């Protein structure tokens, strides 16, 4: 099925590609601002309004706006070269205003409104970076290695960022740490834009009428196989959220934290190994196999509740979930025509985040009625159902790569 890959698809070779190191470094700095944001935002709004309820609402609506509008921001940047600097300035300014208002004391409605508006404008650094990897790499193996490195780095940033945000808040204050996060965002996105280069135009073979339709479209790109890919990703996000909430309910926060850290470690190690392995199985089939394997991983803690079994199941589930996402990103270049790939990558993020939100909500209902026991069986069932539906709908990729 696979063998280790060497040579031009090594991580060193990928970073040696033209502009790759500068793009990778500036994208990591830009992503760090997202990793830092969660605690400073929540605590700054709490300080400014005196209410955790308002702070939770503001943070939740920020995340919702950011996730749901991500594909449309990506589409905007893909078709309008000046959009990225504009998004950067608006995003940084709104976070700065929210930080200033929190320091001085602010009305609850104003804090929520500023949070929602800030969630409208975050620049799509992840989708843009993945599109650039697709343009820089010269083979599918090299692209797989690059996307694996990118995914592991992004996951690491989002794991480390909240810790750094909490330390910064403890050392200064929540409004000041939010202002610092805004400054990191502006610096990171500006540096990333400076080395990103021009956004590639829509292919010349596409006429003006089709391009106009693409800009007006409300849903994902209508590429064969792409919607079924999103089904598997949505199922993966739902399953992981069900497992996470179930672990917290069953074990408590003190035990759940290390167990979820094991899941994150599994994702990082799995992603790095995956990126250096040459697979004989095509990506669209690999996606279904990984979905089924992840479901089996969640079934292990469902069958055996011993801590060792739960830890092993989460370790393997993390590896399967992260490699599933990498495989989904890998298919964008083969399923979606140039001019819509940044948006398509953002749709994968949105599907995963939507699945996570639905899984968390479902876990809350299940646990309130039946306790923590059904969480892992539900995670297994959801991911198996999503994978089976994708297989039934005939998830596939074109045999010919779309024209670039």
Q: Any idea which residue has 């992503």 for tokens?
A: 31
Q: Which CATH architecture has domain 212-392?
A: Up-down Bundle (1.20)
Q: What one-character-per-residue DSSP string does 294-360 give?
A: HHHHHHHHHH--SHHHHHHHHHHHHHHHHHHHHHHHHHHHHHS-TTSHHHHHHHHHHHHHHHHHHHH
Q: Any idea which residue has 């976070």 for tokens?
A: 95
Chain segment 268-298, per-residue pLDDT in tens: 999 999 998 888 888 889 999 999 999 999 9
Task: Compute φ and ψ for 339, nearest 5 degrees.
Answer: 105, -15
Task: Compute φ and ψ for 278, nearest 5 degrees.
Answer: -90, 125
What is the C-alpha to C-alpha distance for residues 153 and 34, in angstroms, rounded to an integer? 13
Residue ranges of alpha helices (H) inside 137-282 are: 140-171, 174-196, 208-216, 226-251, 253-275
pLDDT at 208: 47
pLDDT at 89: 95
What is the C-alpha to C-alpha distance for residues 36 and 163, in angstroms, rounded to an integer? 8
User: Average pLDDT for residues 112-117, to the nearest whole number?
Assistant: 93
pLDDT category of residue 214 using cuts at 50, 70 and 90: low
Q: What is the DSSP letter of 19?
A: T
Chain segment 1-53, per-residue pLDDT in tens: 555 445 567 899 999 999 999 999 999 999 999 989 988 999 999 988 888 88
Give the residue range(s) of CATH 1.20.1250.20 domains in the chain: 212-392
Total residues belonging to the chain: 404
Chain segment 355-395, per-residue pLDDT in tens: 998 998 888 888 888 888 888 999 999 999 999 999 988 64
Which range in 100-109, 239-248, 381-390 is most confidently predicted, on average pLDDT?
381-390
pLDDT at 201: 47
The model's pTM: 0.88
Q: Does residue 101 surpass a pLDDT of 80?
A: yes
- CATH code: domain 2-140+161-196 is 1.20.1250
Rounded to 10 degrees, the C-alpha dihedral 265/270/275/278 comes to 170
Task: Compute φ and ψ for 139, nearest 5 degrees.
Answer: -155, 165
pLDDT at 249: 85
CA 114 from centre of chain: 23
First to last CA, the chain: 29
What is the C-alpha to C-alpha distance for residues 162 and 183, in angstroms, rounded to an integer? 16
330 contacts 111 by C-beta, under 8 angstroms: no
**Can you say whether the dihedral through the CA atoms of 232, 237, 241, 247 is positive or negative?**
positive
Chain segment 136-168, per-residue pLDDT in tens: 998 888 999 999 999 999 989 988 888 898 899
CA 322 from centre of chain: 10
């Amino acid at each position: 099925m696979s063998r280790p890959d060497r040579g031009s698809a090594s991580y060193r070779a990928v970073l040696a590609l033209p502009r790759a190191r500068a793009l990778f470094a500036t994208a990591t700095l830009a992503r760090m601002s997202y990793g830092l944001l969660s605690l400073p935002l929540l605590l700054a709004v709490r300080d400014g309004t005196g209410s955790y309820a308002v702070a939770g609402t503001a943070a939740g609506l920020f995340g919702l706006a950011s996730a749901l509008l991500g594909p449309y921001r990506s589409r905007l940047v893909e078709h309008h070269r000046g959009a990225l600097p504009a998004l950067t300035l608006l995003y940084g300014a709104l976070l700065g205003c929210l930080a200033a208002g929190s320091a001085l004391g602010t009305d609850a409605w104003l804090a929520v409104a500023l949070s929602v508006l800030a969630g409208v404008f975050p620049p799509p650094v992840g989708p843009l970076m993945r599109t650039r990897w697709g343009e820089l790499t010269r083979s599918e193996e090299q692209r797989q290695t690059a996307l694996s490195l990118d995914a592991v780095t992004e996951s690491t940033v989002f794991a480390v960022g909240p810790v750094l945000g909490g330390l910064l808040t403890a050392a200064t204050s929540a409004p000041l740490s939010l202002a610092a996060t805004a400054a990191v965002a502006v610096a990171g996105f500006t540096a990333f834009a400076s080395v990103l280069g021009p956004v590639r135009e829509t292919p010349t073979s596409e006429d003006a009428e089709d391009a106009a339709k693409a800009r007006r479209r409300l849903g994902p790109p209508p590429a064969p196989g792409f919607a079924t890919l999103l089904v598997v990703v949505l199922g993966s996000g739902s399953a992981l959220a069900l497992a996470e909430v179930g672990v917290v309910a069953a074990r408590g926060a003190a035990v759940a934290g290390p167990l979820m850290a094991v899941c994150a470690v599994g994702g990082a190690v799995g992603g790095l190994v995956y990126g250096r392995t040459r697979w004989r199985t095509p990506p669209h089939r690999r996606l279904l196999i990984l979905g089924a394997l992840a479901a089996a991983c969640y079934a292990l803690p469902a069958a055996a509740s011993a801590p060792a079994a739960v830890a092993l199941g989460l370790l393997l589930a993390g590896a399967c979930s992260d490699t599933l996402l990498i495989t989904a990103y890998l298919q964008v270049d083969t399923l979606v025509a140039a001019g819509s790939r940044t948006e398509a990558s953002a749709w994968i993020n949105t599907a995963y985040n939507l699945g996570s939100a639905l899984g968390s909500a479902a876990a809350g209902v299940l646990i309130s009625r039946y306790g923590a026991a059904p969480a892992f069986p539900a995670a297994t069932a959801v991911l198996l159902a999503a994978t089976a539906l994708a297989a039934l709908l005939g998830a596939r990729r074109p045999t010919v790569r779309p024209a670039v």
